[in-house]
Structure 1
Amino acid sequence: MAEPKELALRYPQSCPFCSIAAAYRYAAAASPSPAAKQPQRQDETRAGQDMTAAAAAASNSLLASIPSSPSAIDPAKVSPAAYVVLSAPRVLAFLDIMPMTRGHLLVTTRRHRRKVEELVGGGGSIKGEDGDENGEEGEGECKGEVGDDEDEDEEGEEGRDIGFWLPLLAKTVATVIGVPDYNIVQNNGIRAAQVVPHVHFHIIPRPASLPALQNKSWTMFGRGAREDLDDDEAAALAARMRDALRVEVEALARRKGRRGRGRL
């Protein structure tokens, strides 16, 4: 693991992830088409069309979480540079600036949560719509410490959104890097090797050049050399990950659409 002093030189802010969240806001998708808003008709053909339109609207909402415009992906908006792959209402993903291996990705919350126990969990569905629920109102700002009754996500969607995006991002990393094995690690507290005090998950590819860890479950994921991220390579790598993530989201939307039509 990198030494705390070494990280402090690169992350001088009190919370660098809050700075990234503030700089890379969620861009809400366009409003659903009138067809998507229409109530389902009795006619099965019309109902199928309405469901397809609704699935398309949901897909567009999720795709809006994957930044594409030059301003939305500009790495120079923060210092050190950030190479953003996901900018969702409650979740962000960007390349680690001191990767253990190529493709080392961080997945974090927009709101400032120090440990995973502070995540607001619960059920529901990702809405990604305009208004208070999409996280546009101040969620990019560092809120500092979270008390028992303040800064709550009443819908309980923060933890669920992490659970939604993490598998998609893991598959994205594996696809782009071409390495099927990876670690997903989340540290809580300084004794547990957490350096940045903002809850985050590491997705770390394990290429064939690294030793296999079977029968060595005690081995810590973070032992090994970490090098500075190369800016040119990082920009190209983040772009490939965004493209691959779009493919995963579109495929997910198609699967959900087919299952929905099968229930008619």
Structure 2
Amino acid sequence: MGEPKELALRYPQSCPFCSIAAAYRYAASAASPSPAAKQPQRQDESARSRAGQNITAAAAAASSSSLLASIPSSPSAIDPAKVSPAAYVVLSAPRVLAFLDIMPMTRGHLLVTTRRHRRKVEELVGGGGSIKGEDGDENGEEGECKGEVGGDEDEDEEGEEGRDIGFWLPLLAKTVATVIGVPDYNIVQNNGIRAAQVVPHVHFHIIPRPASLPALQNKSWTMFGRGSREDLDDDEAAALAARMRNTLRVEVEALARRKGRRARGRL
């Protein structure tokens, strides 16, 4: 994101990421895992093997369908004008969102954030929903808005937010690298004003490092440099987000196939 003054001009609301989360809700897939049919007590080995393979295939298909539902495709689900400034959404999962940075450092600069309002990474650990701030407010949010969630997930006791970030981040990084055609990238995450966090809502930057930029080598603190950051071009952003969504779908489908093969191999 940009400097605080620039950000205030573009994002007058208290938490822009909560506004994006509320506008782009998770569209649950119609497909759901089918319960495994009870097997007769007496079955030959071949029949049991075929039944196991059928159940595994159905579960893999349901899992793939559920993940693919997190990648928006309908015109209303990807309409950038639902918020101001426009948002170019790549992922809209139950707990995680990804969209292009409005002031990209490099082409393809992507933000990955939680759907609920969490200020810092520490609030994701062990279920941030139960963390109390110094003033006693839940999550220490001090009245800031909360993003929408898919289903009854006010309490994240099992730490699903953190796991979901961990699941999607590698897939999104690979997607950005593939679409931009740049194999090197930075993943940056800041916590607090002194650590250069501008939007007080936990988020990760995926920033491609094209050959036109100097190599960082060991000077990681110069990661951002002093180069100018330009506003996102709407036409290019729409095309770029569409390519990222398509590539992410391919990655999810490939992942589901690999998991299906491994599961069948264990039968």
TM-score interval for Structure 1 and Structure 2 normalised by the shorter chain: 0.7 to 0.9
Partner Cα separation in structure 2 for residue 126 and residue 249 of structure 1: 32
Shift of 1:40: 12
Shift of 1:220: 3.4
Change in CA separation of 1:186 and 1:60 when aligned onto 2, cut-off 3 Å: same
SS of alignment partner, residue 256 of structure 1: helix
Q: Residues 16-71 of structure 1, C-alpha deviation per residue, up to 9 Å, x if partnerless?
A: 00000000010114234577999999666423433443343340000000000001
Q: Residues 70-90 of structure 1, C-alpha deviation per residue, up to 9 Å, x if partnerless?
A: 010000100000000000000
Partner Cα separation in structure 2 for residue 174 and residue 53 of structure 1: 30
CA contact 1:19–1:141 (8 Å) conserved in 2: no
Change in CA separation of 1:259 and 1:163 when aligned onto 2, cut-off 3 Å: same
CA contact 2:91–2:98 (8 Å) conserved in 1: yes
Shift of 1:216: 1.9
Partner Cα separation in structure 2 for residue 128 and residue 190 of structure 1: 17
Shift of 1:217: 2.8
Higher mean C-alpha deviation, range 216-225 or range 251-260: 216-225
Shift of 1:221: 2.9
Higher mean C-alpha deviation, range 43-52 or range 156-165: 43-52
CA contact 1:61–1:128 (8 Å) conserved in 2: no
TM value normalised by structure 1: 0.84
Q: Residues 122-154 of structure 1, C-alpha deviation per residue, up to 9 Å, x if partnerless?
A: 7999999999999999xx993399999995302
SS of alignment partner, residue 261 of structure 1: helix
Change in CA separation of 1:245 and 1:101 when aligned onto 2, cut-off 3 Å: same
CA contact 1:51–1:261 (8 Å) conserved in 2: no
Rg larger in 1 or in 2? 2
Change in CA separation of 1:36 and 1:227 when aligned onto 2, cut-off 3 Å: farther
1:228 match: 231
CA contact 2:89–2:241 (8 Å) conserved in 1: yes
Q: Residues 93-135 of structure 1, C-alpha deviation per residue, up to 9 Å, x if partnerless?
A: 0000000000000000000001111114479999999999999
Shift of 1:219: 1.8
CA contact 2:22–2:147 (8 Å) conserved in 1: no
Higher mean C-alpha deviation, range 142-151 or range 245-254: 142-151
Change in CA separation of 1:20 and 1:209 when aligned onto 2, cut-off 3 Å: same
CA contact 2:128–2:156 (8 Å) conserved in 1: no
Partner Cα separation in structure 2 for residue 125 and residue 152 of structure 1: 7
- Is 1:19 the counterpart of 2:3? The answer is no
TM value normalised by structure 2: 0.83
Q: CA RMSD in A?
A: 6.7
Partner Cα separation in structure 2 for residue 249 and residue 125 of structure 1: 31
Change in CA separation of 1:249 and 1:186 when aligned onto 2, cut-off 3 Å: same
Change in CA separation of 1:115 and 1:136 when aligned onto 2, cut-off 3 Å: closer
Change in CA separation of 1:251 and 1:123 when aligned onto 2, cut-off 3 Å: farther
Change in CA separation of 1:168 and 1:133 when aligned onto 2, cut-off 3 Å: farther
CA contact 1:115–1:188 (8 Å) conserved in 2: yes
CA contact 2:103–2:229 (8 Å) conserved in 1: yes
Change in CA separation of 1:245 and 1:147 when aligned onto 2, cut-off 3 Å: closer
CA contact 1:124–1:157 (8 Å) conserved in 2: no
- Is 1:85 the counterpart of 2:90? The answer is yes
Shift of 1:256: 0.4
Change in CA separation of 1:126 and 1:113 when aligned onto 2, cut-off 3 Å: closer
CA contact 1:120–1:153 (8 Å) conserved in 2: no
1:126 match: 131
- Is 1:100 the counterpart of 2:123? The answer is no
Partner Cα separation in structure 2 for residue 35 and residue 255 of structure 1: 21
SS of alignment partner, residue 196 of structure 1: coil
Structure 2 unmatched runs, 5+: none
Partner Cα separation in structure 2 for residue 85 and residue 43 of structure 1: 47
> Which contiguous aligned blocks of 4+ residues in structure 1 show a shift greater than 4 angstroms?
33-44, 121-137, 144-151
Percent of residue pairs bearing the same amino acid type: 96
- Is 1:51 the counterpart of 2:55? The answer is yes
